[in-house]
Amino acid sequence: MSEQEIKVPDLGGADEVEIIEIIASEGDSVEEEDPILTVESDKASVELPAPLKGKITKITVKVGDKVSEGDVVGMMEVSGESGGSDESAGEEQEEEKAEEQAEAKSEESKPAPKKKSGGSRKETVKVPNLDGFDNVPVIEINVSEGDTIEADDPLVTVESDKATMEVPSPYAGKVEKILVKEGDKLSEGDDLLEMTIVEEGGEEEEAPSAPAKEEKAESKPAEKPKQEATPQPQGSTYEPPSPGAKVHAGPAVRKLARELGADLTRVKGSGPKGRIVKDDVQAYVKGQLQQAQQGGGVATGSGIPGVKLPDFSQFGEVERESMSRMMAATATNMQRSWLNVPHVTQFDEADITEMESFRKAQKAAGEKKGVKMTPLPFLLKACAAALAELPQFNVSLDMERKEVVRKKYIHIGIAVDTPHGLMVPVIRDVDQKGLWDLAAESAELAQKARDKQLKPAEMQGACFTITSLGGIGGTAFTPIVNTPEVAILGVSKAAMKPVWDGNEFQPRLMLPLSLSYDHRAVNGADAARFTNLLTQLLGDIRTLLL
Ligand code: COA
């Protein structure tokens, strides 16, 4: 074992190149040629490879540092039999040199300046010298047919085993026909695409310029479609794909993305100038996996075509405003639940005539306590009793692990209508609380919701939700299950109805109940049992005490 310095090889004459990514870490075992860091000159980004097989013991530079040939960037431990490091490093240097020389040549091999005659002409753009490499695969097409582009705009990105290079456009003009596709292997002189070049006047056209710098390409990304204020899937590394947008990433990152099947146009770069580094790819893939496991990916993974919006202004005056974060989050949650859960709604009616007289009789007591007794605490209590008796409603499904999660607690969410949107605070341990406590707590949480004072913890952990529109109106509705819960009770406005008692019709106050449930967790018979039980409990509230 011997320790030796890792030095920057010849960079083809380029001095003071910036380190844009450190790929290897201290302690990493590397093979000869494994990339250690990426540097970026104004021509290309190049990975500096390990000169030998061994273990990285120290990295002495950081992202943003500028290095030149011979600078020490770290130390590594190599085993004796690995052969002479100088020899190997020498080879690397040769390769790097060849790369830079080829680059210089590629400048020379650009089409000669052309005389402009005014008007327009067609040109077939050919592949320039690719750093001396042949058969280099196209990994990205950066333009589309019909695009109007400037000279130097990147046309395609190719990737040799040493570097990623953009082939810049030698002309400004319109892309007529793309003659290559991703995966094609290109060599110098191959036809790349056809362009129409618009010429102005008879002056000599500027010589086609040097290969596009990545930053330059980035400074004029393809115009992104105007984003609607739709919620973005979680994971800060996600960006909507921008057709034709430049991906700013080195070969190792591209390789990793290919191995993981990550679309780099969707990954947001955290490196200098938005460069995508390995961590970004890993974070993106992790985010996508988490989303898939949580049943997310509504916007991208449902496989359902999106709704195409017409230009509404053709029908009359319109104005657009951004959705609030809350509205966007609610929209995502609703869609996620609706798409993931096979919903069925069971309807029933509870005779709450006696319950209402009891409730109204509590008015004076309520005033003394400073608490208003509404039907909601009775509903909470009845639902808690039904959840205890029919525990198949107090579960969540873990489809990933094919497990049912049974909850030993009874926390119930209450949907609260607020000026800024729907909020669902959660009352904990409903089964252990009395009606007055529930009345006070639900009023307090509803007020907090309206005042935007709810803490995140106060909106988490529900087993079941009650959504009551009874104070507003309606006879029935089909609420959406608040996943990962498996059922929700919708309550509509109680109304006096004639009810047959076996001998005659009696005027009774009937409360409409709409129980939506996840049919994967709950079967129809159990749902009918659940609403049946609720009607019994609400019909004779003494049974709540049993
Ligand atoms: N039938 C008839 N009347 C009802 C009723 C019902 N099912 N539920 C409540 N009421 C009455 C109440 O008794 C009260 O009348 P009163 O003042 O004469 O006593 C009145 O309606 C208003 O009650 P409210 O203040 O709404 O209290 P609540 O405890 O019933 O409800 C909330 C509290 C937070 C649930 C309610 O204010 C709310 O926000 N509901 C909307 C929920 C929602 O938007 N759901 C849709 C989700 S998609």
The β-bridge partners of 137 are 185
Interacting residues of 408 by C-beta distance below 8 A, sequence separation 6+: none
Contact of 51 with 12, CB cutoff 8 Å: no
Minimum CA distance residue for ligand 1 atom 16: 374
Query: Which tokens go with 102?
Result: 């080829």
First to last CA, the chain: 79
Pocket test residue of 348, 447, 468, 511 for ligand 1, highest count of atoms within 8 A of CB = 468
The closest of 517, 516, 515, 512 to 538, measured between CA atoms, is: 512
- Helical (H) or strand (E) element with 535: helix 524-539
Residues with CB under 6 A from ligand 1: 374-376, 414-417, 422, 446, 467-471, 479, 491, 493-494, 511
* Interval 525-541: pLDDT, tens: 999 999 999 999 999 99
Question: Tokens 């002479």 map to which residue?
Answer: 84
pLDDT at 345: 98
Phi, psi (degrees; rounded to nearest 5) at 51: -70, -25
pLDDT at 258: 81
pLDDT at 202: 40
pLDDT at 211: 36
Structural domains present in the chain:
2-83 (2.40.50.100), 230-293 (4.10.320.10), 327-545 (3.30.559.10)
Model pTM greater than 0.85? no
What does the alpha-carbon distance between residue 471 and residue 256 come to, in Å, rounded to a whole number? 57
Question: Tokens 């991703």 map to which residue?
Answer: 182
Residue 545 CA to ligand 1 center (angstroms) comes to 24
pLDDT at 162: 67
Query: Which tokens go with 222?
Result: 């393809």
Residue 492 CA to ligand 1 center (angstroms) comes to 9
Residue 469 CA to ligand 1 center (angstroms) comes to 6
Ligand 1, residue 376: give the atom nearest the CA.
Answer: 29
Minimum CA distance residue for ligand 1 atom 46: 467
* Interval 241-260: pLDDT, tens: 444 456 777 767 887 888 88
Residue 473 CA to ligand 1 center (angstroms) comes to 9
Q: How many other CB atoms are found less than 10 A from the CB of residue 345? A: 17
Residue 470 CA to ligand 1 center (angstroms) comes to 5
Radius of gyration of the chain (CA): 34
Ligand 1, residue 416: give the atom nearest the CA.
Answer: 39
Angle at 46 between CA 42 and CA 52, to 5 degrees: 150
Cis-peptide into 484, omega within 30 deg = yes
- CA 283, distance to chain mean position in Å, is 10
Classify 276 as helix, strand or coil.
strand
Ligand 1, residue 466: give the atom nearest the CA.
Answer: 35
Strands 426-427 and 412-414: antiparallel
411 belongs to the catalytic site: no
What does the alpha-carbon distance between residue 50 and residue 428 come to, in Å, rounded to a whole number? 58
Pocket test residue of 358, 374, 422 for ligand 1, highest count of atoms within 8 A of CB = 374
Of the residues 248, 411, 420, 519, only one is catalytic, namely 519
Alpha helix stretches (DSSP H) within 304-460? 325-340, 353-361, 363-369, 375-389, 435-450
pLDDT at 255: 78
pLDDT at 89: 43
Minimum CA distance residue for ligand 1 atom 13: 374
What does the alpha-carbon distance between residue 19 and residue 209 come to, in Å, rounded to a whole number? 25
Q: Which residues of the chain have pLDDT under 70?
A: 12-13, 42-44, 80-119, 162, 199-246, 251, 272-273, 291-302
pLDDT at 323: 92
